[in-house]
Chains A and B, each alone.
Chain A
Amino acid sequence: MLQNWFIMSPELSLLAYLPAAFLINRFRAEKTAKTFFTLSKIFLLFTLVTTVVFYNQSPLGPWLKNTSYSTLFKTLVYIVSLAWFYLSSKWFLNKNRSSYRFYSLGMWTLFLFSLLISARHLLVLAAVLPLLGLSARGFILMHWDEEKVAAAGRLYGVFAALFSLLLWSGVALLHWRLGSLDYAALQGAFSAGEPRDFYALLGVCLILSAVLFMLSAAPFHSWFVGVISCATLPVCGIFTLIAPIAWLFCLVALVAKAFLGLAPLLHGILLAFAVVSLFIGAFSANGQTNIRRLFAFVGVYNTGFLLFGLINFNSDSIMSAFSYELIYVLAMIGVYTVFLGLKSKSEYLSDVAEISGLSHVKPYISAAFLVFMFSLVGMPPMLGFLGRLAVVNTLVTSAQWFDVGILLVSVLFMANAFLNIIRTVYFEPLKNAFDRTDKSIYISLFVNLVLVIISILNPAYVLLGAETVLKGVF
């Protein structure tokens, strides 16, 4: 029993932050964003260490299971969270607002993500998804000024509830038809094949729809775009950088550990969503005037790319999806760091026109922005190329020429969207007076770029370990 508590220590550490933060918020007079960041950092680091220590220890038997690959994803989530929490603290310091709610919700969400990643039972998923929906709504409503946020929050709330219902329905259907919600049992049932049970299949589809909704795959992406367009920067970061990693693994675990017997069905659904995501993402990113909305579509586009990487359901495909996600997250952290550096009269800029001529006054930030954007489009020698290479290689290996064609055509449209931003930043005259940028932003960008350079020069440093670990997924 005691051993189980120890094994649960990462999750408990995340939860333990909440009372600690509450006490500090309640009793400490001088508290800034840095205070909560420092606190979260301590708990998060402890979580990170213990996660690695208990990488293959599972606390709640069939409900939750930790494996080396789930640990890999968790570690990634925690590292990205740590980085983003640090950067978010700058936002709160600049805005001079309390970060208590943000960090609390953040740690709570990480706790839920941890459960999600370890989940080996559909009831865990059914329990976590609505809770994550609620905490996401909490994040969305953290904006204090705009009515738009309230509307987006309402819409998100309704649709999250709807998809939670769909998930529950799916879970109920599966339980009704197959009598078990355990991943291993489901895997056994579906691998047996015939006879095909429509209701069971419908259940799978409903569960999948909920996960795809949370993953913001198009056409279930509307909430994501709506939220990113108006939410605060720290919140946007949570949705764009951290959530996709967790949900990606959730999808991977579902597919690999529960529904692999339905590979053709899943392949069809994921392929359709991948194509729609790619095209909606790439086309819609063109013609956007709001830079965050634009990058929301980039997120949708990247979800499409990820799904393309995944649809073959083998160790190569999971590896390609993982490396793509890793590279995407690295670039997106860079992009959001740049967003944090784009301020005018203490306001963070979100309109494309507002950053016109940025390179004249902020050459380093512009250069970093340029690198990250070209990386996102997968252009060599940027790191993004490795992601593109990995995904395309998976498709080529399985002779999916049509998919390769779609993927590459979509890259063109995405590139065009980025070119418009680059044109604005570099080729157009300066229109705005930008505020001085915090040194920490430059340092973050520098560290990110160094990571990018190291990764491109020797990707084995980053990916070799992951490759070994991910081989065990399928």
Chain B
Amino acid sequence: MILQLFLGLVLIALLFFIIGQEKRRRVWSVLLFGAVLGLLYAFFEQINAIGISNVMYDWIPHHTLHANLSFAAAGQTSACLRVMSLCLAVLVYLNIIYRHEEYSLYINNFILLNFAALIILLSARDLLQLMIGSCCFTIIGFYLINDVAAKTKFIFYNFLAELAIFMSLAVVYANLDTASLSALPKYLKAGHHKDLVSMLLLGAVFTKCGMFLFQNQLIGLKQLTFNRLMTVALFSAPLSGVIIFARLFPLIRVSEYAAPVFALIVGLSALWAVGGALLADSLKAKILYLNMLFYAFVLWQMWDNGAVFFDKLIYLYPSILGIFISFLFVSVSASDESRLSQMGGFARRLWLDLALALAAVFVFLGGFAKSFDVAAVWIFPTVFLSVCAVILRGVFGGQSRADERVEALLKNVGLWYWLPYAAALGWLVGRFGLWKTETVWAAFGVFVVLMLLAPVRPFLKLAAAERLQNGDFLHRVYLLCLIMPLRLLGRVLWLAIDFVVIERSIIGSISHSTAFVVRFLQKIQNTYWVNYLIMALFGMAVILLNLGWYYHE
């Protein structure tokens, strides 16, 4: 079943790549959407009936390396796939209706492949499959991004993260001589270079999740359209990062340096994310900072218990996606305006958007309360929703700052947007009984009050600060501290070693001395009496010397 789903997704994607035409992308996308829904439906029907699906492909049967490709859908994996299927359906649908997506069929194909990669990653039982899954996310993410600057950052960061994973797992494999994940405890007991492995993996996870120091790869996505940035930021590299974190958590935690480094980076990431979400003017950037905050929370939670991801955190994805989509609605309604400084006072005209955003917040609150002990982790929803409140206040509250064009064209999102969205939210509320919890209502009330009272003006004042909004401090630091010295070193090595030492000194001296000998020989071999004579005498001298030597021997 799971293998059918995997192959089905890959085949559909490949088929639509080959036969699909972007001219009629919506028609093709609808077909694709239908096919995917059918496939998912069939899969979950079977899973519901049987409960488990395991397939093992004997991949590398060498006696010292036995690697399998396993496909498994059971328990946590199955639940995770369900949640992700919902997100997948939402994203595919969104790409169909979102008018700014010119290549909806192309991107949907990649979303399917991304889901297939998720299956590989989730099903991994050995190191190789884990790496393959992770790399697939990187490759697909690369194709999902259509802005070269963003693409560059994404691929460089993720490629280095892959290499870090590659290297750390190679060290582990060198110690274990088996690729099986179940053998990791052996490494923890008697393995070498644990600090190196731990730090490399931690670095890779931070990079993939876009944590502090590595956030550029995700923040750079703000140049993308909403649908793409949401897909990449939520479901691409960061998702693979947390799954790797969950799978290799014992390895990451093994070093004594891991805990302080983790706490420092995740803490700084949260702070940076909150700051960024508040100070950034663009709704896209805000989404990305909120995403960063979300992943900081995910990692924080997983540090205490890796399994929490599959038990609880995974259920936050639809609601987080819901909130992000509500921001997209605002942008769609405001003629694609995405700067907060150009919005404000939209509540009356965009009442439906406001309602949908509030509904998304409600679902988030409900979902969170259902999964977590709020008393223990209150800080994340509080901070997250506070930032959301400020954003929504900036959009809907106060006086309008929109220009005439935006003002004139302001209208609620269309039926194709809001109806499925509302239906999905409604289904979630109804399915999980989110409305029944009083705490949720209370928290929602607080959120509404906060939204009405949130201070926006101080942040709006900073909207015009170009350096703050578009400056890339970290990139400059890397450029100055890492890339420039490396380039310089490369240049110096090239000039110093290749040209000065080899070309000028070694080759030069050989060439010159050979040329000298050749010239000398040419001179003494010209057709002159004296040259003939010298040569003959030289020859006779050689003979006589030999004679002398022989005679006296």
Query: Taking beta carbons and an 8 Å cutoff, which residues of A are in contact with B?
Result: 148, 151-152, 155, 159, 162, 196, 198, 201-202, 205, 208-209, 212-213, 218-223, 225-226, 229, 262, 264-265, 268-269, 272-273, 276, 280, 283-284, 286-288, 413
Contact = CB atoms under 8 A, between A and B. Distances in A.
17 contacts: A159-B536, A162-B536, A196-B551, A205-B543, A205-B544, A218-B535, A219-B536, A220-B535, A220-B536, A225-B525, A229-B527, A276-B542, A280-B525, A284-B521, A287-B515, A287-B519, A287-B522
Contacts of A219: 535-536, 538-539, 542
B531 A222 contact: yes
Minimum-distance CB pairs A-B, first 3: A265-B550, A268-B546, A219-B535
B513 to A, nearest CB: 11
Given A205-B543, A262-B550, 8 more contacts: A201-B551, A209-B539, A209-B540, A222-B535, A229-B527, A264-B550, A264-B553, A272-B543
Contacts of B544: 205
A196 B551 CA distance: 7
Contact of A273 (B518, B519, B542, B553): B542
A412 to B, nearest CB: 10
- Interface of B, secondary structure class, is helix
B57 interface: no
A272 B547 CA distance: 12
A262 B544 CA distance: 14
B532 interface: yes
Residue among A205, A222, A225, A280 with max Cβ neighbours from chain B (10 Å): A222
B518 A268 contact: no
A263 to B, nearest CB: 10
Contact of B550 (A213, A225, A268, A283): A268
Contacts of A226: 527, 532
Contacts of B522: 284, 287-288
A434 B553 CA distance: 60
Contacts of B542: 219, 269, 272-273, 276
B524 to A, nearest CB: 9
B546 A159 contact: no
A208 B543 contact: yes
A193 to B, nearest CB: 12
Nearest to B521: A284
B532 A272 contact: no
A117 B166 CA distance: 76
A287 B518 contact: yes
A20 B183 CA distance: 99
B83 to A, nearest CB: 67
A264 B551 CA distance: 11
Interface of B: 514-515, 517-519, 521-522, 525, 527, 529, 531-532, 535-536, 538-540, 542-544, 546-547, 549-551, 553
B535 A286 contact: no
A201 B551 CA distance: 8
Contacts of A152: 527
B514, B539, B544 pick with most chain A CB within 10 angstroms? B539
B539 A212 contact: yes
A265 B544 CA distance: 10
Nearest to A276: B542
B546 A272 contact: yes
> A-side binding surface: helix, strand, loop or mixed?
helix
Contacts of A222: 525, 527, 531-532, 535-536
A280 B536 contact: no
A349 B517 CA distance: 28
Contact of B514 (A202, A220, A286): A286
A159 B532 contact: yes
B518 A269 contact: no
B535 A268 contact: no
Contacts of B531: 222
A188 B525 CA distance: 41
A441 to B, nearest CB: 30
A201 B548 CA distance: 10
Looking at A151, A220, A276, which has the most chain B CB atoms within 10 Å of its CB? A220
A289 B543 CA distance: 32
Nearest to A229: B527
A269 B542 CA distance: 7
A381 B539 CA distance: 36
A162 B550 CA distance: 25
Nearest to B527: A226
Contacts of A286: 514, 518
A60 to B, nearest CB: 31
Contacts of A225: 525
Given A159-B532, A283-B518, A283-B521, A269 B527 contact: no
A446 to B, nearest CB: 36
Nearest to B537: A219
Contacts of A413: 514
A268 B515 CA distance: 29
Contacts of A273: 539, 542
A148 B522 CA distance: 17
Contacts of A218: 535, 539
Contacts of A212: 539
Nearest to B532: A222
A283 B517 contact: yes
Contacts of A209: 539-540, 543
A308 to B, nearest CB: 16
A218 B551 CA distance: 24
A269 B550 CA distance: 10
B360 to A, nearest CB: 72
A278 to B, nearest CB: 13
Nearest to B528: A155
A155 B521 contact: no
A226 B531 CA distance: 11
A269 B551 contact: no
B532 A223 contact: yes
Given A219-B542, A286-B518, A155 B527 contact: yes
A406 to B, nearest CB: 15
A413 B535 CA distance: 21
A215 to B, nearest CB: 12
A209 B536 CA distance: 9
The interface centre, meaning the residue of B525, B538, B543, B553 with most chain A CB atoms within 10 A of its CB, is: B543
Contact of A201 (B519, B532, B538, B547): B547
Contacts of B550: 196, 201, 262, 264-265, 268
Contacts of B546: 205, 265, 268-269, 272
B451 to A, nearest CB: 78
A458 B518 CA distance: 38
B551 A155 contact: no
Nearest to A208: B543
Contacts of B549: 268
A58 to B, nearest CB: 31
Contacts of B553: 264
Contacts of B519: 287
A218 B515 CA distance: 20
Contacts of A162: 536
Nearest to B535: A219
Contacts of B529: 155
Contacts of B551: 196, 198, 201
Contacts of B543: 205, 208-209, 269, 272
B532 A284 contact: no
